[in-house]
Amino acid sequence: MGENRFSCSGSAAVARDSFGIEASRILDACRDRDCFENVRVFLTGIGEELITRTNHVRVKCAKLCGANIVTDPIQFNRGFYAVTARFYVRLTFEVCVPMGQSQEFEGIAVLEKHVVLYGGESNVSVFRSSASEGYCSTPELVCCAKNHPEAVVEVVDPIVLGAQIMESAGDCRCCCCCADLPVLVTDALNGTLVGDEEGSGRYLTVSLGLFSVVRLVRAGQLLVQGTEFCLPDKECCEPDTEDPCGTFRKMPFPTAEFCPITAPAVSAGSGGGRGSRCCGNS
């Protein structure tokens, strides 16, 4: 598939020129692996009832369902910002019930991560036009937070390290309570979450591992070398619905799916897999 799909002319020589573009410039970035131990899980009503009658629970699935990212400038350290990332994890559990059967229930765990990165300084106010706004529309007010850099967080779904039922809720160290959970997060569950005041004293905790990359970016003007964009030569084609078996026969055989997985080669200088700069948790 090495064909040129964006060829303006048949000549091999394509004129290159300098173009000014606006793009997000990365000012600082870091990567990290975090282990969140014994994080309390906010359960639905059926979940609270089930953990009172069992001592063993299994985590079937853990998926990120939302996040909230906030940046705050650090006093007396100009250009540096504290990034607070709060992740909402939707968990599916399974417990054994009488008569040799199992039952599933869901819950939400909240993970919070703190990072300090350099985001630079900016004293300009940026306003952008909108096609839906007219000359007499409501003006856009100047806000100090608009000068803050944008925090971008990339994260994979958490890795489940363990689950445990605790007896006393007095030892719980939570970053929020059930009432603080966003409605969009709680509405995704198959049931209504039970508040702390309705608990039975026992509560469920999980230990999760999280890989993440955090960076601070600002919009900047860059001069780059490029070629002029033009329309593609390739025409759109519709799927062949008349002969599905013919379409299947044209597919390549998935040889790689039938090969055994080999262990990846480990480099001599891999160490702990951390770069020269890593996130700092507080």
Structure tokens at 229: 């964009």
What is this structure's pTM? 0.73
**Cα–Cα distances in Å, from 20 out to 15, 17, 126, 213, 224?**
16, 10, 18, 28, 6
Residue 173 has a pLDDT of 58
Domain ranges of the chain: 17-125+140-228
Measured distance CA(89)–CA(58) in Å, rounded: 16
Measured distance CA(217)–CA(117) in Å, rounded: 11
Question: Could you please report the per-residue DSSP string of 98-115?
Answer: TTTEEEEEEEEEEEEEEE
Residue 124 has a pLDDT of 76
Residue 159 has a pLDDT of 94
Torsion of CA 136, 141, 146, 147, to 10 degrees: 110
pLDDT along the chain (282 residues), means of 10: 49 65 92 92 85 86 92 90 94 84 87 93 77 67 70 94 80 64 78 63 89 93 81 78 80 84 61 48 48
The burial class, CB within 10 Å (0-12 / 13-18 / 19+), for 30 is: buried
Residue 213 has a pLDDT of 95
- Under a CB-based contact definition with an 8 Å cutoff, are residues 43 and 110 in contact? no
- Under a CB-based contact definition with an 8 Å cutoff, are residues 161 and 38 in contact? no
Measured distance CA(140)–CA(97) in Å, rounded: 58
Measured distance CA(226)–CA(18) in Å, rounded: 6
Measured distance CA(247)–CA(257) in Å, rounded: 20
Measured distance CA(243)–CA(236) in Å, rounded: 19
How many degrees, rounded to 5, is the angle at CA 147 between CA 128 and CA 138?
40
